[in-house]
Amino acid sequence: MIPQDRHVPERLFLARHGQTSWNVEHRLQGQLDSPLTDEGIVQAHAIARRLADAGVLTVCSSPLGRALQTAVIIADRLGADVIEVPELAELDHGELAGMTWDEIDETHPTAREERAANRYGWAFPGGESYAQSRARARKALSSCGWASTGVPLLVSHEMIGRMLRAELRGLDASSALGLRHPPGVVFEIDGTSERML
């Protein structure tokens, strides 16, 4: 149940940033950044087209460059305001940010096995776990609710996006971790129901 002092939108749209150069290289980004690729820019414009008649007046964005660039492209097309919400930033990948899993296997040989044993509770070395980030997701939803006019669009990331969707839909940890959100995809979430646009 959502506490009464929170103001979570009953209906919202959730987008992941467009494809980045590190997505292509299979590098963990976390709270580091890499630029959108040409395809990522195309994806941002495609989201804007799909939302053209959705009544979005406010775009709440992660402050990370890849999400903010995506948000600005969409907002410019929709004539919407962009509001940076720090809690929408991706999970902090700590020491593993910027690395591929092959590189991680060399420098942190037990990380993959430890993560597999407790994916929800395992924290990236020097970073966050899904469990820790879920509280941040709750705060982000409330912040967006208070800051938004009309039905907001949230532009965020895949991992924190799982926690946002879990909070909105009342999902347990296992169900949340099974969620996927490819770049360029936008979800409409209304109460506990969700559909991909």
CATH number at residue 49: 3.40.50.1240
CB 107 within 8 A of CB 99: yes
Q: pLDDT tens digit string along 14-62?
A: 999 999 999 999 999 999 999 999 999 999 999 999 999 999 999 999 9
Rounded to two decimals, the pTM is 0.93
| 145 domain-assigned | yes
CB 120 within 8 A of CB 81: no
pLDDT at 87: 97
Domain count, the chain: 1
| 5 domain-assigned | no
- Provide the domain limits for residue 55: 11-196
Q: pLDDT tens digit string along 53-89?
A: 999 999 999 999 999 999 999 999 999 999 999 999 9
| 2 domain-assigned | no
Side chain identity at 61, as an amino acid letter? Answer: S
**Catalytic residue among 87, 90, 158, 167, which?**
90
**Catalytic residue among 17, 93, 157, 181, which?**
17
- 45 labelled catalytic: no
Model confidence at 94: pLDDT above 80: yes
| 6 domain-assigned | no
| 167 domain-assigned | yes
Q: How confident is the model at residue 6 (pLDDT cuts 50, 70, 90)?
A: low
Residue range 103-118: average pLDDT?
A: 96
